[in-house]
Amino acid sequence: METRSNHVLVGSVVLILLIMLALFLVWLARLNGGSEREFDIFFKQSVDGLAKGSSVAFSGVPSGQVKDISVWKRDPKFVRVRISVTDETPVVTGTTASISSSFTGTSTVQLDGAIKDAPPIICPVENPQSACPFGVPVIPTRAGGLGALLSSAPQLLEKLSHLADRLTEVLSDKNVASITGILENTNRVTKALADHSGDLGETIAETRKTIKQGGEAAAAITRLANSADGLLKSDIKPVAANLNKAIASAQHSLEQLDGLVSDARPGVQTFSKQTVPEVGQLVRDLRVMAAALTSVAEKIDQGGAGSILGAPKLPVYTPGKTPKAPKK
């Protein structure tokens, strides 16, 4: 009877201890769970090297681990990675996630890009299902160095292969021969230019001088054109206007003169037919009268007034002496 009582007591004590241990473990799990936050990351690239328990680092500082990895059934192009990080990890607006791969084959989730005083990433109150499809906030992704390079390696190799094919076509025997001929011609042209470098320098100098003279000539022509334009505006136009007025006035005078000639034509005809012959006869008579008056004047001058009335006296002659002219 006593043996059975001891076994019951021992069993009861062990059961109580197990219950207390279970409660302690649950409390510890809750305590640890309360100090971590979970986030989802949707990668569109390969997550090769990433597995449950992989490290999560923030700016290189270990901050958590990967909890779950699965293909997103809604869109199989994405791989959903569930991570948990400590409360001290500043997962705020502006934080991005990437996969950092190494040549050893292991990968880690890298978080960086936090902004000072930015609000934490949380699920919105309105329409939380669209922003948080699995009930936890989502961290946006960015292309990660080696992982992005490895994921794009097939496309890169394909482009390199295509480029190699094109280079092979370009560097065919025929094209190589053509390139060789072009290089030889270039060498000959370069040698010819080097041989005539002095002449080329003189030609360039003459060309510069010609260009300078052409510029000066153009400037002179511009000044001449401006002067001619000013002369045309200031002098030629007023002179032309005055000339037009003079021509109009002359035309008017000619018209008046034409009318005057038309009116005077009958009198002119009478004058030419009657008056002119009479004037001619008068002129002849005046000439005869003038000749007679000249003769009378000469006689008066030589013989005095008596020479007009009688004959002139003969000179007195004395032998051996020069005859004297008679006294007047």
Lowest mean pLDDT among 154-163, 236-245, 286-295: 236-245
pLDDT at position 144, please? 58
Is pLDDT at 94 greater than 70 in this prediction?
A: yes
Query: For 305-314, how does the pLDDT look when each residue is reduced to its tens digit (9 = 90+)?
Result: 555 555 555 5
Structure tokens at 297: 């004047």
DSSP lists the bridge partners of residue 81 as 41, 69
Q: Which residue has the higher pLDDT, 281 or 127?
A: 127
Is pLDDT at 121 greater than 80 in this prediction?
A: yes
- Count the neighbouring beta carbons within 10 Å of the beta carbon of residue 21: 10
User: Domain extents for the chain?
Assistant: 35-151, 155-194, 197-282
Pairing of strands 55-58, 107-112: parallel
Confidence of residue 107 (pLDDT cuts 50, 70, 90): confident
Q: Which residue has the higher pLDDT, 301 or 248?
A: 248
**Ranges assigned E (strand) in the chain:** 36-43, 55-58, 61-71, 79-86, 96-101, 107-112
- Count the neighbouring beta carbons within 10 Å of the beta carbon of residue 220: 10
Is-above-0.75 flag for pTM? no
Query: For 187-211, how does the pLDDT look when each residue is reduced to its tens digit (9 = 90+)?
Result: 887 877 777 767 667 777 777 878 8
pLDDT at position 296, please? 63
pLDDT at position 328, please? 47
Q: Which run of H or of E encompasses 265? A: helix 237-270
pLDDT at position 5, please? 63
How distant is the alpha carbon of residue 239 from its chain centre? Answer: 47
Query: For 159-174, how does the pLDDT look when each residue is reduced to its tens digit (9 = 90+)?
Result: 888 888 887 877 778 8
Q: Which residue has the higher pLDDT, 105 or 125?
A: 125
Q: Which residue has the higher pLDDT, 77 or 160?
A: 77
